[in-house]
């Protein structure tokens, strides 16, 4: 119980960093598009008096902000500080762009709304409010500079608008820009905070549910193991005195109990891997032996079901640095699935291919195949193909994926409906770089 940590500050930080990265990408792309437009625009064609030098410098500065922000994220600078720096710098850049594209006679101030909206999702209502106030102050400063003739309006629209004679108009213009900008900060700020709260609540209830499941599953293991022992003893001790029907009943009970035990173990192992508490016991392992052992175990069951089991090995000794018992369970899971889903008379083949760096193990069956739209999903927790006749736990492939990826390998399926499936996985011969399994699917 309590293996998973509560949704905390670091989770929120990861999300803020991801949102900031997206905002920086968008900023970078918009700037590149703007730069390309300036370069490509022939002022006579679009009939605007664009000042290319000033706008190119602004585009360059904006690109620089994106690059520095990205670098900061990679270098683990404090995310909140980068967010503040980026949003303040973008607000200044927008104010300059407005000035050099016509001041009060351009629709550019609408971009302030974009920045305020983005800030809400990055820094909440308080951050958005501060950036909104900063935007309207910058805009007021720009209008004042134009009104006082310190840097007159750039007349890109060919409108002979003299700011110094239009004081009232400038005030009205400032109010028209400021009110929506400030309102936007409150609206999007509240929305972003509500979304964040809902998200945190959802994650908290998911954590409580996971912990509860883990506790129940963990407590189930002991009685199931005891039951298994009891059934084994009964089968051994009373086998001679029981009728065939009674024996079959007892064997069925043992089989069901075995499935239950493997479900419990798989859930517990997956939970451990997700919590980063699972360690690989690496050792030089003869993979060919592992395949032979697992296929031999299945041979008798296969014959009973009228299936044929073939093994294609290129060598009898292939040493790989891996956790042998875990990789054995991966092979066993794939073989069990192949048997479970392949009807009577089918053929199941196991192959092993090697290169100097990696080995590839495949389990091929002549079963029903898996629809293309399910081929990725079946590796997710509890995912099963709808309409499948056989029931399972939906955890076997999740377990396989986690174990293979923890070893630095890959697992995938190729399948054709009505023809069969081929599950393959690779393992690096040298072994994984870390022994701690930390995976989330
Ligand atoms: P399960 O315990 O349900 O078999 P798995 O995670 O091992 O769980 O498999 C997920 C789903 O993938 C299965 O329910 C089945 O629908 C599909 N599947 C897996 N292996 C095969 C196979 N060899 N042939 C056809 N379908 C398969």
The answer to whether 122 and 131 are in contact (CB under 8 A) is no
How many C-beta neighbours within 10 Å does residue 137 have?
A: 13
Residue appearing with tokens 């007021």 = 140
* Ligand 1: centre distance to CA 243 (Å): 35
Of ligand 1's atoms, which has the minimum distance to the CA of residue 338?
23
pLDDT of residue 387: 66
| Closest by Cα among 250, 256, 224, 254 to 238 | 250
Whole-angstrom distance, CA of residue 12 vs CA of residue 366: 48
Residue nearest to atom 14 of ligand 1 (CA): 384
Q: How far apart are CA 174 and CA 212, in angstroms?
A: 57
| Best CA proximity match to 87, nearest among 57, 130, 148, 51 | 130
What's the CA-to-centroid distance between 181 and ligand 1, angstroms? 54
In the prediction, which pLDDT does 370 show?
94
Q: Which residues contact 179 (CB under 8 A, 6 or more apart)?
A: none
* 331 alpha carbon – ligand 1 mean position (Å): 14
Which protein residue has the closest C-alpha to ligand 1 atom 13? 384
170: number of Cβ within 10 Å: 18
- CA–centroid distance, residue 225 to ligand 1 (Å): 25
Residue 343: CB atoms within 10 A of its CB come to 13
Contact indicator for 155, 49 with CB cutoff of 8 Å: yes
- 306: CA distance to ligand 1 center in Å? 20
Which residue lies with its CA nearest to atom 16 of ligand 1?
385
> Which ligand 1 atom sits closest to the C-alpha of 391?
3
Q: Whose CA is nearest to atom 4 of ligand 1?
A: 392
Residues 183/230, Cβ–Cβ less than 8 Å: no
**Residues whose CB is less than 8 angstroms from the CB of residue 207 and which lie 6 or more positions away in sequence, other chains included:** 4, 5, 6, 7
What pLDDT shows up at residue 303? Answer: 81
Q: How do strand 347-354 and strand 308-313 relate by DSSP bridges?
A: parallel
Tell me, rounded to whole angstroms, the distance of Cα 226 from its chain centroid.
39
Local confidence band at 1 (pLDDT 50, 70, 90 cut-offs): very low
DSSP state of 103: G
pLDDT tens readout for residues 170-229:
999 999 999 999 999 999 999 999 998 999 999 999 888 888 888 888 888 889 999 999
User: What is the Å distance from ligand 1's center to 337 Cα?
Assistant: 6
Ligand 1 contacts (CB < 6 A) are 337-338, 341, 365, 367-368, 370, 378, 383-385, 388, 392-398, 421
User: Given this model, what pLDDT does residue 9 score?
Assistant: 47
Residue closest to 12 by CA, chosen among 79, 81, 86 = 79
pLDDT at residue 388 tops 70: no
| Secondary element (H or E) of residue 122 | helix 110-147
> What residue owns the CA closest to ligand 1's atom 11?
384
Taking a C-beta distance cutoff of 8 angstroms, is the pair 357, 305 a contact? no
Q: pTM value?
A: 0.59
Q: What pLDDT digit, counting tens, does each position of 115-127 carry?
A: 999 999 999 999 9
List b or e across 63-99, with b for residues whose CB sees 16 or more CB atoms inside 10 angstroms.
bebbebbbebbeeeeebeebbbebbbbbbbbbbbbbb
Q: How buried is residue 39: exposed, middle or buried, by Cβ count under 10 Å (0-12/13-18/19+)?
A: exposed
The number of the ligand 1 atom at minimal distance from the alpha carbon of 383 is 10
Residue among 342, 371, 378 whose CB has most ligand 1 atoms within 8 A, to mutate: 378
- Specify the higher pLDDT residue, 265 or 439: 265
Mind listing the pLDDT tens digit for each residue in 49-91? 778 888 889 999 999 999 999 999 999 999 999 999 999 999 9
What tens digit of pLDDT does each residue of 276-294 get?
777 889 999 999 999 998 8
Q: Closest residue (by CA) to atom 19 of ligand 1? A: 337
Please tell me whether residue 309 adopts helix, strand or coil conformation.
strand
């Amino acid at each position: 119980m309590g293996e998973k940590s509560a949704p905390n500050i670091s989770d929120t930080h990861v999300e803020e960093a991801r949102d900031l990265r997206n905002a920086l990408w968008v900023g970078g792309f918009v700037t590149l598009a703007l730069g390309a437009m300036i370069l490509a625009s022939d002022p006579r064609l679009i009939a605007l008096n664009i000042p290319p030098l000033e706008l190119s410098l602004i585009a360059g500065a904006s690109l620089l902000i994106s690059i520095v922000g990205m670098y900061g994220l990679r270098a683990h600078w404090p995310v909140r500080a980068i967010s503040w720096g980026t949003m303040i710098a973008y607000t200044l850049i927008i104010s300059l762009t407005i000035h050099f594209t016509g001041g009060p006679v351009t629709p550019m101030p609408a971009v302030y709304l974009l920045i305020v909206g983005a800030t809400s999702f990055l820094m909440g209502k308080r951050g958005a409010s501060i950036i909104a106030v900063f935007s309207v102050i910058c805009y007021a400063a720009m209008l004042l500079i134009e009104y006082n003739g310190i840097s007159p309006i750039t007349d890109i629209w060919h409108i002979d608008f003299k700011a110094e004679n239009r004081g009232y108009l400038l005030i009205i213009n400032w109010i028209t820009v400021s009110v929506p900008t400030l309102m936007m900060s409150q609206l999007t700020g509240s929305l972003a905070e509500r979304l964040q709260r809902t998200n945190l609540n959802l994650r908290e209830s998911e954590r409580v549910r996971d912990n509860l499941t883990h506790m129940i599953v963990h407590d189930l293991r002991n009685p199931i193991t005891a039951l298994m022992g009891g059934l084994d003893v009964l089968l051994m001790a009373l086998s001679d005195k029981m009728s065939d029907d009674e024996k079959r009943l007892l064997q069925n009970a043992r089989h069901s109990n075995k499935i239950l035990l493997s479900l419990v173990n798989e859930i517990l192992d997956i939970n451990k891997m997700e919590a980063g508490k699972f360690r690989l016991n690496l050792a030089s392992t003869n993979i060919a032996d592992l395949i032979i052992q697992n296929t031999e175990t299945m041979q008798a069951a296969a014959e009973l079901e009228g299936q044929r089991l073939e093994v294609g090995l290129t060598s009898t000794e292939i040493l790989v640095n891996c956790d042998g018992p875990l990789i054995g369970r991966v092979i066993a899971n794939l073989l069990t699935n192949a048997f479970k889903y392949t009807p009577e008379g089918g053929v199941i083949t196991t192959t092993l291919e090697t290169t100097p760096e990696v080995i590839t193990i495949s389990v091929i069956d002549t079963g029903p195949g898996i629809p293309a739209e399910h081929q990725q999903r079946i590796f997710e927790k509890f995912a099963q193909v709808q309409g499948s006749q056989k029931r399972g736990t939906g955890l076997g492939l999740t377990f396989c994926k986690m174990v293979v990826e923890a070893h630095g390998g890959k697992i995938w399926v190729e399948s054709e409906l009505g023809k069969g499936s081929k599950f393959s996985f690779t393992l690096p011969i040298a072994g994984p770089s870390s022994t701690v399994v930390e995976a989330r699917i």
